[in-house]
Structure 1
Amino acid sequence: MKVILNNLQVKAVVSWLPENRLEMISLGKIYGDAEVVSVMKATGVERVRVADVDMCSSDMCQKAAEVLIEREGIDKNEIDGLVFVSQTTDWILPATSISLQDRLGLNQDTVCIDIHYGCSGYIYGMLQAATWISTGACKNVLVLSGDTTSRMMNPNDKSLRMVFGDCGTATLVSVGTSRMGFHIQSDGSGADRLIVPAGGFRTPISEKTSQLVWDEDKNGRTQNDLFMDGMAIFNFAITKVHKNVNSIIEEMQWAKEDVGFYAIHQANEFMVNYVRKKLKVAVDIAPTNCRDYGNTGPATIPLLLSDVCSQQQYDLKKTIMCGFGVGLSWGSVAVDLSETKFYEPINK
């Protein structure tokens, strides 16, 4: 799907991080120092944030949204849309976005929706917000994206524990004078490459699904835990993502050399740099920050923006954001962020 939507503006981006830091090197006492150093070298991830056991992704997103509303001086009654992007929702039902409408004190005329996506989810959230605004349905939409991926991982699975972190973010999309271009693609044949096999209605949690199984790389997990075929995801990303990005640049009729910033999903440092090289763009306009935060799922792109763009000046007039992962799904957004306010991550 390709579409260009008009009369839009991304007004502000805020990220909220849990205070708990997990230093990867500290896991040497569990997995062995040599193994930990090897994984750190491969991924570039040195530390992640881990939410408290009683904190949900909605709590982190709520905190980010409250900061955004306060600092931007927004009248809550002027917010008429809320999109919650997360794989770690509060309940199977009702939708967590409905709960957040009440918790944030928003007007009851606010339209709310959950989008159950991970690493590509921010792109979907922005599409939903942009669609509501460009059709005239809404004027100000909060896109809240985040995950507590730490809850889905088995502690015996070092391949995931040393990559994923937790974070919540808030982005305000409003009526404006700019346009946003989207290119989103899907391939459900790869659904089993990144999955929590049990826990839904197809395979309910049972004694059988709760049995711990060890793979050939000595990672232990149950069917109730997150599973990722890392090599398959890597091959998918380096094959598909750059083509998707180049396609939306062409659709927008931009010259590639005029794109001033690339916000690439922070899967890990190695993968981001590989995608960047496939795009043939310089490292200074496609930065990484997963060294300090790991892969925070649907929060990586707004976390990157609030982290690096609040500290350093970039040419954001023509910006590309791209996400890829679970589904399999991948997509890009071409957007003007030159007037966007970026706030340094809370608890950085």
Structure 2
Amino acid sequence: MKAKFQNGTISGISVCVPPKCIDIDDCLEDVFKNDEKLLKRMKKISGLQKRFIADDDISTTDLAYEASINLFNMLDFDKNELDMVIFVTQTPDFFMPSCANYLHKRLNLNQKTIAFDINQACAGYLYGLFTCFSFMKNENIKNILLLCGDTLSKSINPLNVNLAPIFGDGVSASLIQNKKNLSFFELYSDGNGFDRLIIANGAFSKLKKSTNEDIFKIDEYRSLNNLYMDGAEIFNKALELESQGVKNMLEFCGKDKDEIDYFLFHQSNKFLVDNLINDLNLDKEKTPNYLMEKYANLSACSIPALLCQMQKNDFDAILSAFGAGYAYGSAYINFDKNFKTDTISIYKGEKND
């Protein structure tokens, strides 16, 4: 699906991560079972070093609350001017009600501010922006608070050597405003990949049958209530589809790649982004690829976290992501001279629930 928008601007972004920091080198004994070669190989391929994970008493909405407060303070924005709260996550505090409604309560928003969740993973920031910009076609909607992120570590056995080191936790808060700005989106879904990145049990149905038999191969490090990922298939699909997606987006927005200031890929794997850079023959200076080293894979929060790490304004960029579902796509976004990002903050524990 393609879309072009005239009225949608990202005014600012703030990101909050939990305080517990794990260095991959400290996992040699308990996670890697003293296999130094495996540890070095994972660091080299994925670019991993540190990650921040949430303890049991820190939830997705906890991180979202602090990210939101930091965002309002940074932009000197009156929360009573919000028209909508949209929360993109796959790790909600509760099955019911939505994280957005729970955050609505905690932020003490007024009743004219509507709130709802979107269930999306690594492509969630693109889907969230698309949803916000779509609503901006209504001239009565001026300000939307977009939250994106997860506490995926809670779905992974901490001793699972294949998954535990890869994912970090974090939530971003973005203020989307109805201001004149040109953007392009091209989004896709392919349900045939639904069982390649999945938590099979734990909701209201249990996966009983799948063509992917590996899902049911459980052991002491993974149950059917834990995340399953077909890493090789995800890598190959992401490389193929993100590469083609960027080419399609350049054609759609009528730009040559040399005219684009930055290419911002979902930070899932350093090796994957390096391959995308090579496949598309991109300038490495225009394609930051360093978030994994400090924060690991932050799911839907990774692109906004990357923007916070960059600390830039007045530029254009092509954003690209691939995630569970499969859901994937790209977007061409202009960030104006007033665009602001906060440094990534550590959760301080202001519960107020």
Provide the TM-score with structure 2 as the length reference. Answer: 0.91
Q: What is the identity, as a one-letter code, of the residue corresponding to 1:170?
A: A
224-233 vs 333-342, greater mean Cα deviation:
333-342
Of 295, 305, 309, which residue of structure 2 is paired with 1:307?
A: 309
Shift of 1:261: 0.7
Q: What is the identity, as a one-letter code, of the residue corresponding to 2:294?
A: D
Q: Does 1:27 align with 2:30?
A: no
Indicate the residue corresponding to 1:127 in structure 2: 130
Equivalent pair of 2:156/2:226 in contact (CA under 8 Å):
yes
Classify 1:191/1:19 alpha carbon distance in 2 versus 1 (closer, same or farther; 3 Å): same
Indicate the residue corresponding to 1:6 in structure 2: 6
Indicate the residue corresponding to 2:265 in structure 1: 264
Classify 1:38/1:110 alpha carbon distance in 2 versus 1 (closer, same or farther; 3 Å): same
Deviations 1:282-337 (A, max 9, x none): 111111211111001110000000112x2xx57x5321111111001101111101
Q: How does 1:21-100 map to 2 (within 5 A)?
A: 21-30=21-30, 31=32, 32-34=34-36, 35-100=38-103
- Cα distance in 1 for partners of 2:2, 2:8 equals 17
Q: How does 1:1-348 map to 2 (within 5 A)?
A: 1-30=1-30, 31=32, 32-34=34-36, 35-203=38-206, 213-214=218-219, 220-288=221-289, 289-308=291-310, 310=311, 313=312, 316-339=314-337, 340-347=339-346
Shift of 1:11: 0.4
Local SS of the residue matching 2:129: helix
CA RMSD of aligned residues (A): 1.8
Q: What is the identity, as a one-letter code, of the residue corresponding to 1:257?
A: D
Shift of 1:6: 1.2
Local SS of the residue matching 1:156: coil
Q: What is the identity, as a one-letter code, of the residue corresponding to 2:263?
A: Y
Equivalent pair of 2:200/2:207 in contact (CA under 8 Å):
no
Q: What is the identity, as a one-letter code, of the residue corresponding to 2:316?
A: K
Deviations 1:35-68 (A, max 9, x none): 2222112211111001121111111111111111
Runs (4+) off by over 4 Å? none
Provide the TM-score with structure 1 as the length reference. Answer: 0.92
Q: What is the identity, as a one-letter code, of the residue corresponding to 1:120?
A: A
Equivalent pair of 1:84/1:145 in contact (CA under 8 Å):
yes
Shift of 1:137: 4.5
Local SS of the residue matching 1:213: coil
Local SS of the residue matching 1:55: coil
- Cα distance in 2 for partners of 1:182, 1:111 equals 24
- Cα distance in 2 for partners of 1:172, 1:155 equals 34
- Cα distance in 2 for partners of 1:113, 1:250 equals 33
Equivalent pair of 1:258/1:318 in contact (CA under 8 Å):
no
Aligned residues: 335
Local SS of the residue matching 2:7: strand
Local SS of the residue matching 2:318: strand
Q: Which runs of 5+ in 1 are unaligned?
A: 206-210
Equivalent pair of 2:71/2:173 in contact (CA under 8 Å):
yes
- Cα distance in 1 for partners of 2:136, 2:280 equals 31
Identical positions, percent: 29
- Cα distance in 2 for partners of 1:302, 1:188 equals 26
- Cα distance in 2 for partners of 1:76, 1:42 equals 42
Q: What is the identity, as a one-letter code, of the residue corresponding to 1:307?
A: Q
Equivalent pair of 1:10/1:172 in contact (CA under 8 Å):
yes
Classify 1:284/1:127 alpha carbon distance in 2 versus 1 (closer, same or farther; 3 Å): same
Local SS of the residue matching 2:93: coil
Deviations 1:130-161 (A, max 9, x none): 11112325110111111101100012311111
